[in-house]
Structure 1
Amino acid sequence: INHVTIEYTPAGKYFAVLNVDFEPEPRPNAGGTIGIDVGIKAFYSDSNGNTVSNPRYLERSMRKLIREQRRLSRKQKDSHNRGKQRLRVARVHEKIANQRNDFLQKQSTMLVRENQTICIEDLNVKGMIRNHKLAKSIASVSWAKFFEMLEYKASWYGNELHRVPTMYPSSQTCSSCGYRNPRIKNLSIRIWECPKCHAVHDRDTNAGINILKKALQMQSA
């Protein structure tokens, strides 16, 4: 142990954070290769045709959170009851954060165990949050934290993590023939047919396949 930091959380809990020397050992994996397209409705869709739903922990707890925040606003400032209610609000936030973190840890660990090569988009999440209509949903789904977990776990256990450029049109490109369809800029289009080769695509699965192809192409170049 190099040093210890004691943290006190807004929910009234104490934690000891240990800084230690750690040398991870490479772990065997199933040797798969996968491309991942993250989203808001579905947390991600992959190049194998799998979709993981967005658990929406914040949205599911919103009624309770609003109720507890209203109760807090009615309490007299600096009163004992206000302090107790502040803890109740903090505990709701803490539960949401713990649920989200548990989900992200399990998903990232599963991907690292099943795949040797993982390909993702190099998203500018901070820039995307500036869109006020999507900011709350993007913050709730925690793409940045998910990518961070994939990155350090891949580094620990000897996996490969590749990123494709942000502006790569993964959703608009036909994964069968490479034709780029500009009409697919509209997010409401979930299934589309390529006008050139007539292949029918699920928007998100198609994007996952293209992310995988592009990342492997960049590595071989």
Structure 2
Amino acid sequence: MPKKILKAYKIRLYPNAEQQVFFAKSFGCARFIWNKMLGDKMEHYKTTKTTLHNTPAQYKQEFEWLKEVDSLALANVQQNLRAAYSTFFKQGTGFPKFKKKGIKDSYTTNNQKGTVAITQNTVKLPKIGHINARFPDKINGLIKSATISRTPTGKYYVSLLVETITTPLPKTHSTIGIDLGLTDFIALSDGCRVANPKFLAKLQDKLAREQKILAKRRAVAKADQRRLSESRNYQKQKLKVAKVYEKITNARKDFLHKLSFTLIKNHDVIAIEDLNVKGMVKNRKLAKAISDSSWSSFTTMLSYKAEWYGKTLVKIDRWYPSSKTCSNCNHLLTKAELPLSVRTWNCPVCLQKNDRDINASINILHQGLILVKQSKTVGATGLA
């Protein structure tokens, strides 16, 4: 049955010189309001031990240039800052930080009675009008908001959040368990493996060379007592480094999107480990390899695509001993009996030869099916 979803479409923009100036002002104003409101909140709390409920409107009289940009962009900054504070106090995540110029430059505006719209080759935005654009996909649905951003390589994008209709994919009556890894990106319970592309590792040497040149040009600029923003050679090299990072990011995203959709399309139930990636990257020996694998992004893609297309994604407790349990007889080995270096092992009880990763994926699938069955039982009991 078709269902309503919110889907984001990323579109490349080609603004002219005047439009680029407007974007620069909007990025700057959004960054200024975030930093000003955050700073005032912190100072107010130090003095009074109470929360300051400030808004962008109260700053417009003192800083009249804030009126030159879209007011909804500033209102969304207030909402984002409020959400960041709420997340910090409720979940204990990092305290909101001040924003720096050139790092994740962006602003968000809302569609109010057609202020955000699209034509065959343009995107219309408030206070700026139509901007030339290239659409990779056909967009159908009601546009809710638009987030405009500029990459470190100087490219402009708009991400349109659209309320649209999606149709569930046909049922395959297939289930699969996934074990995430570093040598192989994933091992599946049907015995298949997907190699880890290691995008960062492949371009590591080139990246290191470009970063070394960048460091030298930074040193030359400082020796000549020139600002980095005024050093043309430094800025040219900075762009080269950004392009290498962009190539890595784009290749990784393309791989993850294609793989996640293939799994969602071909299986009705997908079981995967709920790994503590944030804790795992604290291991200095494995941090770079884990970050390059982007397990969190992959899991997130599986999650929302499963919801879109009527499939089930179940996450297994991170403490479940999937690697150390025999998938045939459920015999559990100790950590000493199965160190990380051992990739295959024979079960001392049933004598089955187990591949560490495939065995883990089979156990993850078994545990996932149990959880799915339990949730259906609870749901049926609730209905009764």
TM-score, structure 1 as length reference: 0.97
- Per the alignment, in what secondary structure is the counterpart of residue 2 of structure 1? strand
- Per the alignment, in what secondary structure is the counterpart of residue 201 of structure 1? strand
- Per the alignment, in what secondary structure is the counterpart of residue 166 of structure 2? coil
In 1, distance between residues paired with 2:327 and 2:160? 47
Q: How does 1:23-172 map to 2 (within 5 A)?
A: 23-75=165-217, 76-77=220-221, 78=228, 79-172=231-324
TM-fit CA distance, 1:2: 2.4
In 2, distance between residues paired with 1:100 and 1:119? 22
2:341 maps to which of 188, 194, 200:
188
2:164 maps to: 22
Identity of aligned residues (%): 47
1:207 maps to which of 340, 352, 360:
360
In 1, distance between residues paired with 2:171 and 2:152? 39
Instruction: Decide which moves more: 71-80 or 93-102.
Output: 71-80
Cα-to-partner distance string for 1:134-160 (whole Å, 9 max, x where unaligned): 111111100000000000000000000
Letter aligned with residue 362 of structure 2: I
Letter aligned with residue 161 of structure 1: L
In 2, distance between residues paired with 1:3 and 1:46? 38
- The number of equivalent residue pairs is 221
2:371 maps to: 218
TM-fit CA distance, 1:176: 0.5
In 2, distance between residues paired with 1:27 and 1:162? 18
Instruction: Decide which moves more: 13-22 or 152-161.
Output: 13-22
TM-fit CA distance, 1:29: 4.4
Cα-to-partner distance string for 1:32-83 (whole Å, 9 max, x where unaligned): 1000000011101010000100000100100000000011111143211110
TM-score, structure 2 as length reference: 0.56
- Per the alignment, in what secondary structure is the counterpart of residue 108 of structure 1? helix
Task: Sort the Cα spacing of 1:184 and 1:210 in 2 relative to 1 into closer, same or farther, 3 A.
Answer: farther
In 1, distance between residues paired with 2:326 and 2:198? 30
TM-fit CA distance, 1:184: 5.0
Contact 1:4 1:18 in 2 (8 A): yes
- Per the alignment, in what secondary structure is the counterpart of residue 23 of structure 1? strand
Give structure 1 regions of 4+ aligned residues with deviation exceeding 3 angstroms.
none
Letter aligned with residue 372 of structure 2: Q
Letter aligned with residue 140 of structure 1: D
In 2, distance between residues paired with 1:164 and 1:177? 19
In 1, distance between residues paired with 2:322 and 2:279? 19
- Higher-Rg structure is 2
- Per the alignment, in what secondary structure is the counterpart of residue 220 of structure 1? helix
In 1, distance between residues paired with 2:145 and 2:295? 30
TM-fit CA distance, 1:163: 1.0
Letter aligned with residue 117 of structure 1: V
Structure 2 unaligned blocks of 5 or more: 1-142, 222-227, 375-384
Contact 1:30 1:114 in 2 (8 A): yes
Task: Sort the Cα spacing of 1:17 and 1:172 in 2 relative to 1 into closer, same or farther, 3 A.
Answer: same
- Per the alignment, in what secondary structure is the counterpart of residue 354 of structure 2? strand
Letter aligned with residue 316 of structure 2: V
Structure 1 unaligned blocks of 5 or more: none
In 1, distance between residues paired with 2:152 and 2:171? 39
